[in-house]
Chains A and B, each alone.
Chain A
Amino acid sequence: MSSSITIKEQFEIPGKLKTWAFALMGVGLLALIAGFATKTGTEEERAVFIGTIMYNTIFWTLITNASMFFIAVTTLAMGGWQQSFRRIPEAISTMVPIFGAITLVVLLYIAFTGNHHIYHWLDTKSVETDEVLRGKSGFLNVKFFTIWTILAIGLWSLLGWRMRQLSNEADEERMDTEKGNSFIWRNTVRAALFIVWFALTVGSTVPWLWMMSIDAHWYSTMYSWYTFASSFVSGMSLIALWVIYLKNKGYLEYTNQEHLHDLGKFMFAFSIFWAYLWFSQYMLIWYSNQPEETIYFKNRVQGPYKGLFFLNLIINFISPLLIFMKRSSKRNYTLVTFMAILIIFGHWIDFYQMVMGSISKETVTLGWLDFGILSFFIGLMIFFVSKALASKPLVPKYHPFLKESIIHHT
């Protein structure tokens, strides 16, 4: 790369984007206030209200955290192709502390007010008499829940922050071999630390603790991987959306169809991976037909959630499978935008039925409140991500692997 090439490195936030972010946040806040005023009469209603906030905040925390996972995993794999747009997943991952804080507040509020309409294991009377709940009380108790939630969110934020700090060095000066080697080595170490913590949390305990424990009797070891697949594929879609947005605004000169193709491949592959886990979880339970296991699917497959449950499968598996199968569709900006929005929406619906299908078993509560809160989170995400993008150069100029990304060819 010769130094005479000039690129637009500095992202300037368009006024329109800010307006949109504030409008979405405003709509969300209005919905939140209206929901608080009208939907918190009885204890059941309150559980639905808090549950709605809860699945939204968990969804956004996990999919923004998936961005840091993407960086860590490509760093460990010595990947070079993502360097030309790596500042975008980095910017998205700055949302983890913010969404994480909201999640922490919501979850601790539930735990400390003992809202057993959401977490059945918070009901101390039931735990005393119920053998199953007593057996799980070593894992499902307020103390462990609190400590583990704080640790999870805190360490995601801290380790992600350390990765991003290291990335700043790639803006400073050209690296010689020795400096480049040490830079890559430190990247590897920090990425590995993040991955280990990610595996211990998103890959296993956190989805069990935050979401599966709503059905305190039911369990599925597949659940965490399933949640991870869900959040990772939506996370990749979110990255693709930002990449396309910035491309449209004339930034990211080094990023082209080849990179889009690889992002599309991730979206395609992990949609199938998600369906694989969905099916594995479903078929094992269907096959053995044990009442304590089928209870989870009873109201989802045969009850009021039937429509959403199968819509979920169509949006998240059938449509990516058929539309993204062709090479040309993964290289088409319009189609990738459409699919990214569809996939994020589909997995949001998935999170909805995972959480609310257990909190409100009899009625589907999907309505204006859900979309209002969703728009609040989207507005928050747009506002802070664009701010984070503007705070750094868009391309890590002196990253040793940048050339690999520029000449990338799928």
Chain B
Amino acid sequence: MAKKRFVVGCFDDEEVLFPAVKKVRTAGYKIKDVYTPFAVHGLDHALGMRETSLHTAGFIYGITGTITALGGISWILTYDWPLNIGGKPHFSLPAWIPIIFELTVLFAAVGMVLTFCYISQLAPFVKRHHFHPRATDDLFVMVIETTEKTNVEDLKAFLSNAGAVETDSHFVEEGWWIGRYDREEMPFENKQIVAA
């Protein structure tokens, strides 16, 4: 996997973050992501992200579940192993609807969770670089992609101007990897103890 340089700007207030996002985008920088301690309403809009397709995927998984259940039960109970249950016809749809419903929900739910994990690159043993440990606590961490032509110091100054309380630049792994964190990448390492 490729290593890349990112510039990080940390904000401590939503009210500052939103105009900053707007400024950074109009200045032409490419925001990789904004890591926030909680879901911020409207941030996806401000970042110009497209509407998620997860619900379309969910619909397709659901329909798959419906067809699987309907096909499965009707094949079993009318063709493969017909049973006389209470004198009901072999093809008795009302009795199957709860099962069809359950399988629809199961397929949709499990499928959507797995898809979500796949697109957000979440899995056991998969590691990603943490840009700032306080992103899970009280900081809104904006990460900007750079090219060779980007002047990192200029960008940092720009971010500070836009209200960032802390700026930094990281030369790190862009995507995910399987394995472990290097010593300097440990997100919650207590540096003081190491120094002593």
* Chain A residues packing against B (C-beta within 8 Å): 279, 282-283, 286-287, 289, 325, 327, 409
What's the dominant secondary structure at chain A's contact region?
A: helix
User: When A325-B59, A327-B55 are in contact, do A409 and B94 touch as well, CB less than 8 Å?
Assistant: no
Knowing that A289-B86, A325-B59, A409-B41 touch, tell me 8 more A-B residue pairs with CB under 8 angstroms. A279-B97, A282-B94, A283-B95, A283-B98, A287-B86, A287-B94, A287-B95, A327-B55
| B71-97 contact mask (Cβ, 8 Å, vs A): 1 or 0 | 000000000000000100000001101
Q: Measured between alpha carbons, how far is A65 from B174 in the docked complex, in Å?
A: 58
Query: What are the residues of chain B within 8 A of A286 when measuring CB–CB?
Result: 94
Query: What are the residues of chain A within 8 A of B124 when measuring CB–CB?
Result: none
Query: What are the residues of chain B within 8 A of A325 when measuring CB–CB?
Result: 59
| Chain B proximity of A116: nearest CB distance (Å) | 33
Query: What are the residues of chain B within 8 A of A409 when measuring CB–CB?
Result: 41-42
Query: What are the residues of chain A within 8 A of B86 when measuring CB–CB?
Result: 287, 289
Q: 3 shortest A-B CB distances, which residue pairs?
A: A283-B94, A286-B94, A409-B41
| Chain A proximity of B51: nearest CB distance (Å) | 8
| Chain A proximity of B73: nearest CB distance (Å) | 15
| Chain B proximity of A129: nearest CB distance (Å) | 33
Number of A-B residue pairs having CB atoms within 8 Å of each other in the complex: 16
Q: Measured between alpha carbons, how far is A171 from B75 in the docked complex, in Å?
A: 65
What's the dominant secondary structure at chain B's contact region?
A: helix
Q: Measured between alpha carbons, how far is A21 from B98 in the docked complex, in Å?
A: 45
Q: Measured between alpha carbons, how far is A258 from B148 in the docked complex, in Å?
A: 43
Q: Measured between alpha carbons, how far is A262 from B195 in the docked complex, in Å?
A: 56
Query: What are the residues of chain B within 8 A of A289 when measuring CB–CB?
Result: 86
| Chain A proximity of B158: nearest CB distance (Å) | 29
**Contacting residues of chain B (34-50) with chain A, CB-CB under 8 angstroms:** 41-42
B41 touches A283 (CB 8 A): no
| B21-45 contact mask (Cβ, 8 Å, vs A): 1 or 0 | 0000000000000000000011000
Query: What are the residues of chain A within 8 A of B42 when measuring CB–CB?
Result: 409
Residue of B nearest to A328 (CB): B51
Residue of A nearest to B85 (CB): A287
Query: What are the residues of chain A within 8 A of B97 when measuring CB–CB?
Result: 279, 283
Query: What are the residues of chain B within 8 A of A287 when measuring CB–CB?
Result: 86, 94-95
Q: Measured between alpha carbons, how far is A289 from B89 in the docked complex, in Å?
A: 13
| Chain A proximity of B11: nearest CB distance (Å) | 21
Residue of B nearest to A410 (CB): B41
| B85-114 contact mask (Cβ, 8 Å, vs A): 1 or 0 | 010000000110110000000000000000
Residue of A nearest to B98 (CB): A283
| Chain B proximity of A286: nearest CB distance (Å) | 5
Query: What are the residues of chain B within 8 A of A283 when measuring CB–CB?
Result: 94-95, 97-98
